[in-house]
A and B are shown apart, each in its own frame.
Chain A
């Protein structure tokens, strides 16, 4: 039992995380009221395991998973995994605590049963568990599994309030964007497999060299990562995802879904480094997201919308930093994720608490909440100043690192960085001021302590990080050194000098305050700008695509064939065309031979012609009885053909079958109501239909003719089994080869065919006598 005394940390973390949703759901099945407590307990356990695993040496776990492709179930609890696992479980713990206070209120609002708790916490913790699995996965296939699992969990969480159309649409949108883009990970993984014959990331990193395939693979994986972290132009799903219950939003934005995207960038960073233009692309996309997110966030009225767009812009920073690269770029990106997670989570919780307390969701309807909820105001103030990068908060350092990375890339980058940071200063300031200051516009119901204290705790953590940065710095450094593949030392401290970073920070404060004070001047023009963006933006494109698809689907459906004749035509026609193509595209030399016609063949030929003529005649009569009789003519003439060919057995069977067949058909006609028969015999098909039917019938006839002709033109193969069967017939106690074939050589076929007869009999009996045999 070595695994008990000396547990593998990586595996232990995964198991602890996986236990959380499992136990929660089981608790839900056992006693729904216990779900919240179980959820909190199991999450705390997972968090504790993650802390323990972080404290000891990095560890790996590996076991053969899919032998055919040589895929290992390979986990590693390295620095990068440690950072994100701590975020997922730690922030997760705050979120679950908050949700324990939030869900009863939410359920009450929506009139939902207690059992919904199990559904909610089950998916929330599945989300956490798949995040934990994702960050530890060392194999691209395994990573893909966890990657999509987060999309699955988020789909159910965003659509949690499924009776609201908005929730349903948003869930679908999030699933479509993140799910379809996730195929990029799969294709990328397969491309890498094509190159290196392995899905294992460590093995791939060992032998990487730049090649077109690798670049493509990396680009495809990046698409998935950017879509998930809601970067322009895939960002539109994130603001819509705000319809989810608040705990989901705060988790999604701080430590789960969106974080997963930037995590993946960190995970495959060694591949990105190979090709400089990938980094440049990241800078451009990140910068675009910063601007779009920032500008839109400044104009939004709904708090959660402000926060959602702020997330887009903040992760834009992270992506830009990854793109810039270098110690400050990569290290800064990691640090930024941590700082942002703490603060953003708290701000979302604030928004949710406020909405639960007042029922209001917009800035224009809110204000002055500081008096009713001072504690909440305090906690969220700490978080807000964290994002605004005021000194003595962890956020100050995140901006310092960003500016340090930008400084390495010249003046233009510096200006852009200041501008971007000023935007975030402004929109977060606007949000907090709008909510808590000003005149009181609404009543406040009391909310539970569970909805306030997590905010305060996170706020304090934000400040703590500004005072005692060491632990956060170390986590970020260890994570960054995994991505950067060399040790990274982040020089984080307060420097009281005029270095560029400090100057830039001052610039941000100045610009940010100006933006805040001048809101009334830029408000309208900014809104106009944003509404233009809405018209030409990707969200609109998404809607247009959906609508176009529905329209296309409808119009294609009009072409679907709906009557039996057309259905038959749609098979015979293409079949004829296919055979025709085969005739054209294969060498026909010697295939279509016209054999010699001897005098002795003339009687046979006459009967064959008679068969053919009666075959054509079947199509003429409209009267059912005449049709049946003509059909029998075909059968009887065929029987004569068999007789001429010297197979009396077959001829006998043919005659008998034809007789009983005609009887059965006539019996059916007797059973049919006269009126229907009369109606049908009077039907006249439309002219075009008749023409089509004749054409298709001709094509089909030609097809059969060509197949038969090509087969018959061959002299029968030299080693036909029939000669051997004739030889063996006496051995089988028979003189009549046909009977011996039917009862012995191929008696198994006969047995099958009589089974068919028996089943047909069952069917007829079922229809006519309701299945009663007697």
Chain B
């Protein structure tokens, strides 16, 4: 009964948590929070799914297998925001628009390259959290099956020993 309750609440919580993560990230420039925190929050959302449903269930989620790549994708995005200005003749890691200039806005959101950098950070942290926890979970699953197999083999051996 309780497991059912867990499962339902876990499912319900997933989307809001991800939304919170998104908010924390994009609002980071005005309020507390940034890509790092957002990444951890999102990873925790998946961690909850993992704990409740187990790795098998989680694998059924689309794209979850590719989460490890998010780490490198994020790193590349961050690197690009740093090094593209450098290629274009500016100082390394100069953000656009330049300091003091006004930035294109969408509501209260400002589009600046610092946000892109933060997206990179988010992806890395998120990918790290999910990747590590899911591989731990999978490893545990593997271990358990192999332990069971060993136990079964032992039992069979014991029977064989008894008969002779």
* Chain B hits for A670, CB < 8 A: 136, 140
- B125: Cβ under 8 A from any A Cβ: yes
Contact across chains for A765 and B72 when beta carbons are under 8 A apart: no
Question: Looking at the complex, which of A190-198, A222-230, A735-743 is the stretch in contact with chain B?
Answer: A735-743
Contact across chains for B75 and A739 when beta carbons are under 8 A apart: no
Take A738-B34, A757-B125 as given contacts and tell me if A663 and B29 are in contact as well, using a CB distance cutoff of 8 Å: no
CA distance A738 to B112 in the complex (A): 17
Q: Nearest CB to that of B83 among chain A residues?
A: A751
- A574: Cβ under 8 A from any B Cβ: no
* Chain B hits for A735, CB < 8 A: 29-31
* Chain B hits for A728, CB < 8 A: 99
Contact across chains for B43 and A660 when beta carbons are under 8 A apart: yes
B contact patch SS: helix
* Chain B hits for A734, CB < 8 A: 29-30, 114
Q: Which of B40, B69, B97, B140 touches A656 (beta carbons < 8 Å)?
A: B40
Number of A-B contacts (CB under 8 A): 147
Question: Looking at the complex, which of A436-444, A537-545, A597-605, A645-653 is the stretch in contact with chain B?
Answer: A645-653
Tally of B interface residues using CB under 8 Å: 56
* Chain A hits for B92, CB < 8 A: 748
Question: Looking at the complex, which of B4-12, B126-134, B151-159 is the stretch in contact with chain A?
Answer: B126-134
* Chain A hits for B34, CB < 8 A: 649, 736, 738-739, 742-743
Q: Which of B68, B93, B143 touches A761 (beta carbons < 8 Å)?
A: B68
Q: Which of B28, B103, B112, B143 touches A736 (beta carbons < 8 Å)?
A: B28
CB proximity to B under 8 Å, residues A627-679: 648-649, 652-653, 656-657, 659-660, 663-664, 667-668, 670-671
Contact across chains for A733 and B68 when beta carbons are under 8 A apart: no
- A731: Cβ under 8 A from any B Cβ: yes
Q: Which of A656, A731, A754, A768 touches B120 (beta carbons < 8 Å)?
A: A754
Q: Nearest CB to that of B79 among chain A residues?
A: A751
Take A733-B103, A736-B31, A743-B114 as given contacts and tell me if A761 and B71 are in contact as well, using a CB distance cutoff of 8 Å: yes
- The number of chain A residues touching the other chain, given as a range, is 35 or more
Contact across chains for A774 and B68 when beta carbons are under 8 A apart: yes
- B65: Cβ under 8 A from any A Cβ: yes
Take A733-B110, A758-B72 as given contacts and tell me if A660 and B33 are in contact as well, using a CB distance cutoff of 8 Å: no
Q: Which of A660, A733, A740 touches B44 (beta carbons < 8 Å)?
A: A660
B40, B66, B143 pick with most chain A CB within 10 angstroms:
B40
- B62: Cβ under 8 A from any A Cβ: no
* Chain B hits for A774, CB < 8 A: 65-66, 68
* Chain B hits for A738, CB < 8 A: 32, 34
Minimum CB–CB distance from A651 to chain B (whole Å) comes to 8
- A448: Cβ under 8 A from any B Cβ: no
Chain A contacts to B: CB under 8 angstroms? 648-649, 652-653, 656-657, 659-660, 663-664, 667-668, 670-671, 728, 731-736, 738-740, 742-744, 747-748, 750-751, 754-755, 757-758, 760-761, 764-765, 768-769, 773-774
Contact across chains for B41 and A656 when beta carbons are under 8 A apart: yes
Give the top 7 A-B pairs by smallest Cβ distance, nearest first.
A656-B40, A667-B136, A648-B32, A731-B99, A739-B28, A743-B114, A734-B29
Contact across chains for A755 and B75 when beta carbons are under 8 A apart: yes
* Chain A hits for B30, CB < 8 A: 734-736
8 contacts between A and B (CB under 8 A): A653-B40, A664-B132, A667-B136, A738-B32, A739-B32, A739-B34, A740-B29, A744-B114
Contact across chains for A769 and B135 when beta carbons are under 8 A apart: yes
Known pairs A649-B32, A656-B41, A664-B133. 6 more at Cβ < 8 A?
Answer: A653-B37, A660-B47, A667-B137, A734-B114, A739-B33, A751-B82
Contact across chains for B132 and A652 when beta carbons are under 8 A apart: no
Take A653-B37, A664-B136, A736-B32 as given contacts and tell me if A754 and B68 are in contact as well, using a CB distance cutoff of 8 Å: no
Minimum CB–CB distance from B29 to chain A (whole Å) comes to 4
Q: Which of A649, A736, A754, A761 touches B131 (beta carbons < 8 Å)?
A: A761
Q: Nearest CB to that of B78 among chain A residues?
A: A751
CA distance A761 to B36 in the complex (A): 15
CA distance A742 to B75 in the complex (A): 15
CA distance A764 to B95 in the complex (A): 33
Contact across chains for A742 and B36 when beta carbons are under 8 A apart: yes
Take A742-B34, A754-B78 as given contacts and tell me if A765 and B68 are in contact as well, using a CB distance cutoff of 8 Å: yes
Minimum CB–CB distance from A614 to chain B (whole Å) comes to 22
Chain B contacts to A: CB under 8 angstroms? 28-37, 40-41, 43-44, 47, 65-66, 68-69, 71-72, 74-75, 78-79, 82, 92-93, 95, 97, 99-100, 103, 110, 112, 114-115, 117-118, 120-121, 124-125, 127-129, 131-133, 135-140, 143
* Chain A hits for B103, CB < 8 A: 733
CA distance A739 to B122 in the complex (A): 13
Q: Nearest CB to that of A674 among chain B residues?
A: B147
Minimum CB–CB distance from B138 to chain A (whole Å) comes to 8
* Chain B hits for A733, CB < 8 A: 29, 95, 97, 103, 110, 112, 114
CA distance A732 to B92 in the complex (A): 16
CA distance A653 to B28 in the complex (A): 12
Minimum CB–CB distance from A761 to chain B (whole Å) comes to 5
Contact across chains for B93 and A758 when beta carbons are under 8 A apart: no
Take A649-B34, A754-B124 as given contacts and tell me if A736 and B29 are in contact as well, using a CB distance cutoff of 8 Å: yes
Minimum CB–CB distance from B162 to chain A (whole Å) comes to 26
CA distance A663 to B74 in the complex (A): 23
* Chain A hits for B118, CB < 8 A: 739, 743
CA distance A734 to B113 in the complex (A): 12
CA distance A468 to B143 in the complex (A): 95
* Chain A hits for B97, CB < 8 A: 733
Minimum CB–CB distance from B105 to chain A (whole Å) comes to 10
Contact across chains for A744 and B95 when beta carbons are under 8 A apart: yes
* Chain A hits for B121, CB < 8 A: 743, 750, 754
Take A671-B143, A751-B79, A754-B75 as given contacts and tell me if A761 and B127 are in contact as well, using a CB distance cutoff of 8 Å: yes
CA distance A648 to B34 in the complex (A): 12
* Chain B hits for A663, CB < 8 A: 44, 47, 133
CA distance A315 to B110 in the complex (A): 91
* Chain A hits for B29, CB < 8 A: 733-736, 739-740, 743
* Chain A hits for B110, CB < 8 A: 733
CA distance A733 to B35 in the complex (A): 16
* Chain A hits for B143, CB < 8 A: 671
CA distance A768 to B132 in the complex (A): 9
Contact across chains for B135 and A768 when beta carbons are under 8 A apart: yes
Q: Which of B71, B100, B127 touches A731 (beta carbons < 8 Å)?
A: B100
CA distance A772 to B157 in the complex (A): 35
CA distance A773 to B35 in the complex (A): 23
CA distance A740 to B32 in the complex (A): 11
Contact across chains for B82 and A747 when beta carbons are under 8 A apart: yes
Q: Nearest CB to that of B102 among chain A residues?
A: A733
CA distance A601 to B71 in the complex (A): 42
Minimum CB–CB distance from A71 to chain B (whole Å) comes to 42
* Chain A hits for B37, CB < 8 A: 649, 652-653, 656
Contact across chains for A747 and B139 when beta carbons are under 8 A apart: no
Q: Nearest CB to that of B65 among chain A residues?
A: A774
Contact across chains for B68 and A773 when beta carbons are under 8 A apart: yes
CA distance A667 to B33 in the complex (A): 27
Minimum CB–CB distance from B142 to chain A (whole Å) comes to 10
A734, A743, A774 pick with most chain B CB within 10 angstroms:
A743
CA distance A733 to B139 in the complex (A): 45
